[in-house]
Amino acid sequence: MHSFSSLLSSFVHHYGFTILVLSLCSTGSLLATNPISIKLFRPYLSWFAHLCQIKKLKRASLQTYKVKMITMARIIQYIQTMSFVNTVAVVGLSFLFFLVSLKRFVLSSRKMGSTSLPSVPDVPGLPIVGNLLQLKEKKPHKTFTKWAEIYGPIFSIRTGASSVIVINSPETAKEVSV
């Protein structure tokens, strides 16, 4: 059975990365000359440093880890040798995937909020502050009475980022509370 450090060193030698495997296994740190390989290897290095501390590894699980490292090295090697056109294509496809995901999220959130009940009428307000500037400072009840004549006994106003439902008649308040 091969030791983990010998398998890792043969893998590193085969794929051309300059990594000091002994320092990885003894101190848990990594020395490399290629900064891209360090960035892409970083999530796996602490994992492999932990594996170096484990005394008994089964051969099958060791082969699995070796395959994962080889796959990761192939991805790194491909990214490092990409031409500018391929890089732009990958970035463009990633951006397109992000936009499609965002659109699906927005559409699914709209479907979750829709009901068959009639909506409460909204009092139009300004984009950021909503209806805060329309409320009179000392007598907001007069503004609510005026809006009740226009929009009915139940209406909705926006106060900044939140919405408030206003119930403006005693009969409606009793009906809502029951």
For residues 56, 60, 64, 66, the Cα torsion angle rounded to the nearest 10 degrees is: 70
Write the pLDDT tens digit of every residue in 125-175: 888 888 888 887 778 888 888 999 999 989 999 888 888 888 888 888 888
Half-sphere exposure of 32 (CA within 13 A, CB side): 18
| pLDDT of the residue at 116 | 66
Higher-confidence residue: 93 or 26? Answer: 93
| pLDDT of the residue at 9 | 53
Per-chain mean pLDDT for the chain: 69
| pLDDT of the residue at 84 | 67
Phi and psi, residue 77, nearest 5°: -65, -40
Q: Which of 1-5, 53-57, 99-103, 170-174 has the lowest mean pLDDT?
A: 53-57
pLDDT band at 115 (very low <50, low <70, confident <90, very high): low
Mean pLDDT of the region 35-40 = 46
Residue 21 pLDDT > 70: no
Of the ranges 14-23, 63-72, 79-88, 160-169, the best mean pLDDT one: 160-169
Higher-confidence residue: 85 or 172? Answer: 172
Sorted by where each begins, the domain ranges of the chain are 4-80, 119-178
> In sequence order, what are the beta bridge partners of 159?
130, 162
Nearest to 29 by CA among 45, 15, 14, 47: 45
